[in-house]
Amino acid sequence: MYLPKIKICGITNPIDALQAIDAGADALGFVFYRKSPRNVSVNVVKSIVVNLPPFVLPVGVFVNAKPETVRKTMDDCGLALAQIHGDESAEYCEALGRPVIRGIRLRDRHTLFAMAEYKGRSRVRGFILDAFSTTAYGGTGKTADWALAAEAAESFSFLLAGGLTSENVQEAIRKVRPYGVDVSSGVEASPGKKDPAKVTAFIQAVKLVSS
């Protein structure tokens, strides 16, 4: 049975984390980028991760951070994956020495060639395809190009992000067939604060389309 994985990103507090887990999330994303309204401190993330069940994946989101900062943050917090979501090169990801999921802003077909540079690198486990924006690295609420994402799905393993909500995620899954889906602003009451009803509705929508 095709069961897309579900990542709830932009978690900033223990209550939102536990609610997402109870609703059925497979992974939680924590943003370590000061310009993001979802930026969270190391101490808060440590307090959340230490209480996670063993098969819920904690992911740290980094944008153009120094490699030593990423490594120290991951080790201090007990993070399983580094989501690299800025302008970092394939060499940066490989040299990081930690498991990486590469965030890609899906602009046009040339983006697929850029993804190929990362594929096959031992540290890069997969991708997150987000909507392209000239003003932000993610969390914009813009919808990604699903037709182009469907092309990418023929060659790459990725989580689809960008403007997903409980209302459109089933259509997105049917059209793209991603490994998983990633949502942040689409399940929020306000930037950095999740809406429990939206989180539950989103996860239920994914599980229903997959059954």
Could you give the residue numbers annotated as active site?
9, 130
Q: Which residues contact 136 (CB under 8 A, 6 or more apart)?
A: none
The residue among 62, 46, 52, 50 whose CA lies nearest residue 28 is 52
Residue 78 CA to residue 206 CA, distance in Å, equals 28
Q: Of how many residues is the chain composed?
A: 211
Nearest to 28 by CA among 180, 165, 210: 180
Q: How remote is the C-alpha of 70 from its chain's centroid? A: 16
**CA 210 from centroid of its chain's CA atoms:** 19
82 contact partners, CB below 8 Å, separation of at least 6: 59, 60, 62, 70, 74, 96, 98, 99, 100, 101
In the chain, DSSP assigns E strands to 5-8, 27-32, 57-62, 81-84, 100-106, 124-131, 158-160, 180-183, 188-190, 193-194
